[in-house]
Structure 1
């Protein structure tokens, strides 16, 4: 989950907290981390990960998450632009899910430190059903690929 625009709830971090309350079933939440944006946005993002319990299959959960995004001010717009909230399903206890509109695990999560770092704080030993690597191992790989400055 992430966002980089203020909403009626306040800062992006406050909006993340509001989204968590709306999602429900939250079993664990990572700390919020500030990350630089991908793409054209100039504002830093507030990112976090949450482990939730839900009996909903991934498409039903995704529809509910998108409704929550809309209620928090998310509107269709430029890809990777500024946004008040972004809620994604990254992993699922059922392993893989694939449909025309949804892929779980999230296709790009293995390459995104802003996803892996929060995940590693709450589920470091969870295994990616595609690679078999743990979240901690995937984070180590991403960190190794980053150029040192």
Structure 2
């Protein structure tokens, strides 16, 4: 359970580009966790990192992981906070979809169930199909439930195995 006014989010992290001054995609993800904490998020859990093939036109392999973060922000505000962190790592949201990027932070699930707005859907619409999201998520949040299917993250990950 969460404290009153405190929300928990399961986020997916990904990177497939080096960042000058930080280094490899793995180092970028580790720095992103620190940046989230600096942004005011309480970091409850972080998965191990895994390599994955790119989705879409990018040719570079990704480093992916997941984190459970907590804070007082509602989903729309949480999205804005995550996008601020992405911008701090050089992320630009224009041009071709699924291209290489220094940092990608996606809200997968949150403690409040389903949420839909014009620029955000929780649960993430594609997370059930993505091993690079479900495997790290199952490591740190195996009992979180998908509010649409009722399945746990562990069950969803097992279906992809």
Normalised-by-shorter TM-score class? over 0.9
- Structure 1 runs (4+) deviating above 2 angstroms are none
CA distance in 2, matches of 1:66, 1:98: 17
CA distance in 2, matches of 1:12, 1:104: 26
Aligned partner of 1:147 in structure 2 is none
Residue 98 of structure 2 aligns to a residue whose secondary structure is coil
TM-score normalised to the size of structure 1? 0.93
Unaligned runs of 5+ in 1: 144-149
CA distance in 1, matches of 2:83, 2:95: 14
Describe the superposition over 1:53-84 as per-residue Cα deviations: whole angstroms up to 9, x where unpaired.
Answer: 11100110100111111110111331111110
Describe the superposition over 1:62-110 as per-residue Cα deviations: whole angstroms up to 9, x where unpaired.
Answer: 0011111111011133111111000011000011111111101101000
Aligned partner of 1:7 in structure 2 is 19
Aligned partner of 1:49 in structure 2 is 66
Describe the superposition over 1:11-39 as per-residue Cα deviations: whole angstroms up to 9, x where unpaired.
Answer: 10111111111112111000000001111
Unaligned runs of 5+ in 2: 1-12
* 1:108-119 superposed matches below 5 A: 108-119=126-137
Q: CA RMSD in A?
A: 0.8
TM-score normalised to the size of structure 2? 0.86
Aligned partner of 1:77 in structure 2 is 95
Equivalent of residue 124 in structure 1, options 126, 132, 142: 142
CA distance in 2, matches of 1:133, 1:69: 30
Aligned partner of 2:104 in structure 1 is 86
Aligned partner of 1:105 in structure 2 is 123
Equivalent of residue 33 in structure 1, options 50, 54, 57: 50
Counting matched residue pairs gives 143
Q: CA deviation at 1:142?
A: 1.8
Residue 45 of structure 2 aligns to a residue whose secondary structure is strand
Q: Which structure shows the bigger proportion of residues in strand conformation? A: 2
